[in-house]
Amino acid sequence: MTRDTRVGGRAGSIQIQGSSFRYRREDGGAVEGECSAASLEPGCQSVLLNGRVYRIAEGSRGEVLVNGRRLAAEIFNPRELRGCQSGPAGGGRQEISAPMPGKVVRVLVQPGDPVEAGQGLVVVEAMKMQNEMKSPKAGRVAEVRTRPDAAVVAGEALIVVE
């Protein structure tokens, strides 16, 4: 299993095969080792990584609690048809990213446009389905990083809202 991640604002990916894991950040840093997890209660896991135990619990949207400390972290499942954000909804700049590889069909906004939470920003076609990426919050379009007919990869930032 491989998943794209965003931890502390940094993009990366994690790969887990059996009890082996590899985490690689976009800046090239990597961690490899052995892991196992056990459910403690709904929304809470005990994770053993390279001999160290971590209690990981669900926090608010875009956050997890690691041994009681809040950490901005998201794991993107390419099977989920949603935009990816860089942090919790409502806070700071947020990147809306492609949920899976595909082609941009329409860009619905321009830089400087005001947007409302839930407003459509860009339409991406993937696996013969058109998916409208929506704004996670009210704000202003800071950047448009794509154009119609552009090919995109999973996790690629398409629009930035602030």
**Is 88 part of any domain?**
no
Residues 6 and 52 occupy one common structural domain: yes
| CATH number of residue 12's parent domain | 3.30.700.30
Burial of residue 115 (CB within 10 Å: 0-12, 13-18, 19+) is: buried
Residue 57: domain span = 2-76
Domain check: are 99 and 156 in the same one? Answer: yes
Q: Flag the least confident range among 62-76, 77-91, 115-129, 146-160.
A: 77-91
Higher pLDDT, 103 or 131: 103
Whether the model pTM is above 0.75? no
Write the CA distances from 66 to 59, 73, 81, 162, integer angstroms.
9, 10, 27, 27
Shared domain for 13 and 72, answered yes or no, is yes
**Inter-CA distances, 105 with 77, 122, 150, Å:** 22, 8, 8
What pLDDT sits at residue 48?
86
Phi, psi at 108, each rounded to 5°: -95, -5
Residue 101 lies in a domain: yes
Q: Of 80, 162, 84, whose CA–CA distance to 122 is shortest? A: 84
Say yes or no to pLDDT of 81 above 60.
no
83 confidence band (pLDDT: 50, 70, 90): very low
Q: From CA 84, how far away is CA 104, in angstroms rounded?
A: 16
Band of the pLDDT at 88, cuts 50, 70, 90?
very low
Same domain, 68 and 105: no
Residue 91 has a pLDDT of: 56
- Same domain? 155 vs 124: yes
- pLDDT for 145 equals 93
Average pLDDT of the chain is: 81
User: How many percent of the chain have pLDDT more than 70?
Assistant: 90
| Number of domains making up the chain | 2
Return phi, psi of residue 39, to 5°: -75, 130
> Minimum mean pLDDT among 13-17, 76-80, 147-151: which range?
76-80
3-class SS at 91? coil
62 burial level (CB within 10 Å; 0-12, 13-18, 19+): buried
CA distance 136 to 161: 8
